[in-house]
């Protein structure tokens, strides 16, 4: 598998219901330098999700940016996405790996140290520390924010790439990278910005200046 740059993941915003606007914001994030995209859709039916995934994949391909799919292994396979992001209540990782084969990325949401230790022995490519800070974007099913202290503890015991998610913006990105996060995953600080391309660019600059190991 090619080396993946996890440093800046744009996670799409399902609140943008207008398809054209959705694609415009996505393209801005790609122009701004998102290194990987996660398509996250909780409200679309299967056909709508599939059709959107096709459109998103086409746009990502234009910028040579890998696309992963949240939750839906079937859709990732159907469109030959780069991989999936799954959570604790989704398909067990070992089954997901069997279905996807060894060449796809699997990201797994982790909310505590116990899950991070478990991930060390699972066939996941990265763990998504969630939530790292308080966020208004995802309000259901969310654990207590881990904070920078939580990241530091998990960094010491994890052998996986770590991507933080939840409440991340320009003000706190550097602190996460400095404390061991290999990347950040972001919804609102990009999608709800007045200028999503510029916001992405600024986040990218902060990450580059702070320095990742990749
Ligand atoms: N998983 C944990 S927090 C979150 C997800 C999908 C939402 C992150 O959104 P934002 O706007 O970047 O805080
Ligand atoms: Mg999920």
- Chain-centre distance of CA 163, in angstroms? 7
Cis, bond preceding 7 (omega within 30 deg of 0):
no
Helix (DSSP H) and strand (DSSP E) numbers for the chain: 9, 8
| Residue 57 token pair | 């994949």
Phi/psi for 96 (5° steps) reads: -60, -40
End-to-end CA distance of the chain: 15
Q: What is the pLDDT of residues 131-168, one digit of tens each?
A: 999 999 977 777 899 999 999 999 999 999 999 999 99
Residue in 86, 131, 143, 184 to alter for ligand 1 test, most ligand atoms within 8 A of Cβ: 131
Closest ligand by atom to 87 CA: 2
184 Cβ neighbours under 8 A, 6+ residues apart: 7, 8, 9, 163, 164, 165, 168, 173, 176, 177, 203, 207
Please state at what angle helix 19-32 crosses helix 196-210, rounded to 10 degrees: 30
Chain Cα centroid distance, residue 209 = 21
The domain made up of 8-213 has a fold known as TIM Barrel (3.20.20)
pLDDT of residue 92: 98
Between CA 93 and CA 200 the distance in angstroms is 31
Which of the listed residues 107, 130, 164 should we mutate to test ligand 1's pocket, taking the one with most ligand atoms within 8 A of CB? Answer: 130
Residue environment code for 13-30, b if the CB has 16+ CB neighbours within 10 A, otherwise e: bbebeeeeebbebbbbbb
ipTM passes above 0.95 = yes
Contacts of 181 (CB under 8 A, 6+ apart): 129, 151, 155, 162, 163, 164
Based on the residue annotation, tell me whether 40 is a catalytic residue of this protein.
Answer: yes
User: Which residues participate in the annotated binding site?
Assistant: 38-42, 70-71, 90, 109, 135-138, 167, 187-188
Is 110 close to ligand 1, i.e. is its CB under 6 Å away? Answer: no
Is residue 31 part of the annotated active site? The answer reads no
Residue 33 pLDDT > 50: yes
pTM exceeds 0.80: yes
| Cα–Cα distance for residue pair 208/27, rounded to 1 Å | 21
Residue 35 CA to ligand 2 centre (angstroms):
21
Among residues 31, 97, 138, 155, the one annotated as catalytic is 138
Q: Among 142-151, 161-170, 179-188, 193-202, where is mean pLDDT lowest?
A: 142-151
Q: What mean pLDDT, rounded, does the chain reach?
A: 96
Q: Which helix (H) or strand (E) holds 163?
A: strand 161-165
Taking only the tens place, the pLDDT of each residue in 91-125 is: 999 999 999 999 999 999 999 999 999 999 999 99
């Amino acid at each position: 598998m090619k080396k993946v740059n996890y440093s800046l993941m744009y996670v799409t915003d399902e609140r943008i219901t207008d398809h054209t606007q959705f694609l415009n914001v996505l393209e801005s994030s790609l122009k701004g330098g998102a290194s990987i995209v996660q398509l996250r859709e909780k409200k679309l039916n299967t056909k709508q999700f599939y059709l959107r995934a096709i459109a998103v994949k086409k746009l990502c391909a234009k910028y040579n940016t890998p696309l992963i799919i949240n939750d839906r292994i079937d859709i990732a396979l159907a469109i030959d996405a780069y991989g999936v992001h799954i959570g604790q209540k989704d398909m067990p990782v070992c089954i997901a790996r069997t279905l996807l084969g060894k060449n796809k990325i699997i990201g797994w949401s982790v909310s505590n140290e116990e899950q991070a230790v478990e991930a060390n022995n699972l066939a996941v490519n990265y763990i998504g520390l969630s939530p790292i800070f308080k966020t208004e974007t995802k309000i259901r099913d969310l654990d207590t924010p881990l904070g920078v202290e939580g990241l530091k503890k998990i960094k010491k015991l994890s052998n996986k790439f770590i991507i933080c998610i939840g409440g991340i913006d320009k003000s706190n990105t550097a602190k996460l990278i400095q404390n061991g996060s290999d990347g950040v995953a972001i919804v609102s600080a990009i999608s709800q910005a007045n200028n999503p391309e510029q916001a992405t660019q600024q986040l990218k600059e902060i990450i580059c200046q702070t320095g990742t190991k990749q």
